[in-house]
Chain A
Amino acid sequence: MTYTARFSVIGVRQFNVKGSDVVKPKRILMAKTGLDGHWRGPTIVARALRDAGFEVIMIGMATTAEIVAAAIDEDVDLVGLNIGGHIDVALRAVDAVQSAAPDMPIFAGGTIPPHACKQLEAKGLEVFPPGSMLTDIVDSANRLTGLSTAQ
């Protein structure tokens, strides 16, 4: 697998006053819906996304209201949810984000059993349970933020 190579495709994007031909780095929110402290998942995913050229805003464990407020103020291109607890808590956050910003895509990962994956997918999320490859997660971020159209 060509992990590094895929990352470097995105390359350096710098601020440029001329503005015409530069790609703006896409911004992703990374939040934990549960009150569990498992930080390995979100950290490793955030690092992969950063290495792929994304700006990742970490907010740690956050309530639905805090997630929505952060997504709006930070004007992110994509909301990432690490789900470590009951799926209903996460679904509430998904609903809230989708009603506050219907155009904002969401993807999720963490301890998500099959029945919960289906519920999230039904709401239009891309879901990455344990064992997901980071390259696939980066691909999904590229797709969801419109950086690539590859399926």
Chain B
Amino acid sequence: MSDATSADWGDGFTARRALAKSISAIESGGPEALEIEQRALQQPAAAHVLGITGPPGAGKSSLISALLPHALDHYGAVAILAVDPSSSLTGGALLGDRVRMDYRHFDQKVFFRSMASRGYQGGIAAATRASVNVLDAAGWPLVIIETLGIGQVELDVMELADRVAVVLNPGWGDSFQANKAGLTEQGDAFVLNKADRPGLENAKILLEQSLQCLPAATPPRVFTTIATDDEGIPELWQSLADLMQEAPKIRQSRRRCEAVREGAKTQLLRDFEAFLASPEAARSESAAPEGAADLLQQFYREQN
């Protein structure tokens, strides 16, 4: 086992570096990543997870920065995972979410990690879920996830977070006409940030109308904020904190089940590949899927 897998993620500076290294190992993927997450799952789930999603430039990072002092008051410590896109051409990325943070609130009680999507298509990174589980196991009571900018397929954060806030700006209706429906189904709370920009009233009416159409008994609330001036932030936080308290346990267990399922799946795959490389497989002539499945069953029978 490497440092990253056996690491003590508890309090203190060394632990912090170990935690960061564990997340790197998760990002690298492979057996070590699985091992780390499985170890994390041995701890009971305790963290609250808040997702912040919305189009690029809506002010997600700025909002997190503004919410941070409130979140710290409430939870005592906060971890943030901020996802930005990787270039599909070079694999490189510019991760700029930290620049929006007000470092005056940063100290040992804030853990901030920038994450590149590395080709993963769900608005987060492939490593995000496992990182959340590790942060949870390490005792971080609140994890905030900033997604990379919403598109139609970026629903993964809903699987991960206990609550999701969707951030939009005045004028959002112009640019998001097409996927309005998909968008409005995502949020537990809606934030019209940049309320200092023209078009606020229209945007609000439009949004509330769309939300009325949802099947839910009480449609999610709409907040207006100016993240950069702290306007509307205390109210937003209060409501988010309440929502988190009442969050259905289902999401929490989903994020863990998913981890277990993926662990199992990967384990099976790996076994199978080992099997394919084995003399038994070499003996076989069948390459068709059914044949392969048969072979795997046979392999397991032989193992036991």
Q: Interface of A with B (CB < 8 Å)? A: 7-8, 10-20, 22, 24-25, 27, 46-47, 49-60, 62-63, 66, 69-70, 72-75, 100-101
Interface magnitude class on chain B? 35 or more
Q: Is the CB of A18 within 8 A of B30?
A: yes
Minimum distance in angstroms from A77 CB to a CB of chain B: 9
Contact of A15 among B24, B94, B96, B119 (CB under 8 A): B119
Is B180 in contact with chain A by the CB < 8 A criterion?
Answer: no
Q: Is the CB of A46 within 8 A of B94?
A: yes
Query: 17 more A-B contacts (CB under 8 A) besides A27-B24, A52-B92, A66-B103?
Result: A12-B90, A12-B91, A17-B29, A17-B30, A19-B33, A24-B27, A25-B92, A52-B90, A54-B92, A55-B86, A56-B92, A56-B93, A58-B99, A70-B98, A72-B13, A73-B112, A74-B113
**B29 A58 Cβ-Cβ under 8 A:** no
Contact A55 B30 (CB under 8 A): no
Alpha-carbon separation in the docked complex, A46 to B96 (Å): 11
Pairs A-B, 6 closest by C-beta atoms: A19-B30, A50-B92, A75-B20, A19-B29, A15-B118, A14-B119
When A58-B96, A62-B103, A75-B24 are in contact, do A25 and B91 touch as well, CB less than 8 Å? Answer: yes
Question: Which B residues, 82 to 96, have Cβ-Cβ distances below 8 Å to chain A?
Answer: 86-96
Q: Which residues of B contact A (CB under 8 A)?
A: 13, 16-17, 20-21, 23-24, 27-33, 86-96, 98-99, 103, 106, 111-114, 116, 118-120, 125-127, 266, 269
Known: A62-B103, A69-B106. A75 touches B114 (CB 8 A): no
Residue of B at shortest CB range from A101?
A: B17
Across the interface, which residues of B come within 8 angstroms of A25, CB to CB?
86, 91-93, 116, 118
A24 with B90, Cβ < 8 A, contacts A15-B125, A57-B95, A66-B103 known: no
Query: Which chain B residue lies CB-closest to A62?
Result: B103
B20→A47 contact, CB < 8 A: no
Per the bound structure, the CA–CA distance linking A63 and B32 in Å amounts to 34
Contacting residues, chain A, for B126 (C-beta < 8 A): 15, 17
- Choose among A11, A17, A58 the residue with the greatest number of B CB atoms under 10 Å from its CB: A17
Given A24-B27, A74-B20, decide whether A7 and B98 contact each other with a Cβ distance below 8 A.
Answer: no
Tell me if B98 and A50 are in contact (CB < 8 A): no
Main secondary structure of the interface of B (DSSP, over half): mixed
Known A25-B91, A25-B92, A74-B20; judge A15-B127 contact (CB<8 A): yes
Contact: B95 with A58, CB < 8 Å? yes
Q: Could you list some 9 contacts between A and B, CB below 8 A? A: A14-B119, A15-B127, A19-B30, A20-B30, A25-B86, A25-B116, A56-B92, A59-B98, A73-B112
Write out the residue numbers on chain B whose beta carbons fall within 8 Å of the beta carbon of A20.
Answer: 30
Which residues of A are found within 8 Å of B17, using beta-carbon distances? 72, 75, 101
Contact yes or no, B90 A53, CB < 8 A: yes
Give every chain A residue within 8 A of B266 (Cβ-Cβ): 17
Nearest residue (CB) in B for A58 is: B96
| CB–CB B30/A12 < 8 A | no
Given known contacts A73-B20, A73-B113, A56 and B31 CB-to-CB distance under 8 angstroms:
no
Closest to A26 in B: B92
In the complex, which residue of chain A has the Cβ closest to the Cβ of B273? Answer: A18
B111 contact set on A, CB distance < 8 A:
73
Q: Contacts A19-B31, A53-B91 known; A59 to B120 CB distance under 8 Å?
A: no
Are B92 and A74 in contact, with the CB atoms below 8 A?
no
B32 cross-chain contacts in A, Cβ below 8 A:
19
Using CB atoms, name the residue of chain B closest to A56. B94
Distance, CA A59 to CA B29, complexed state (A):
26
Nearest Cβ on chain B to A90's Cβ, whole angstroms: 18
B residues within 8 A CB of A12?
88-91, 119
Nearest neighbor of B4 in chain A, beta-carbon distance? A75
Residues on A with beta carbons closer than 8 Å to the beta carbon of B20: 72-75
Chain B residues contacting A27 (CB-CB under 8 Å) are 24
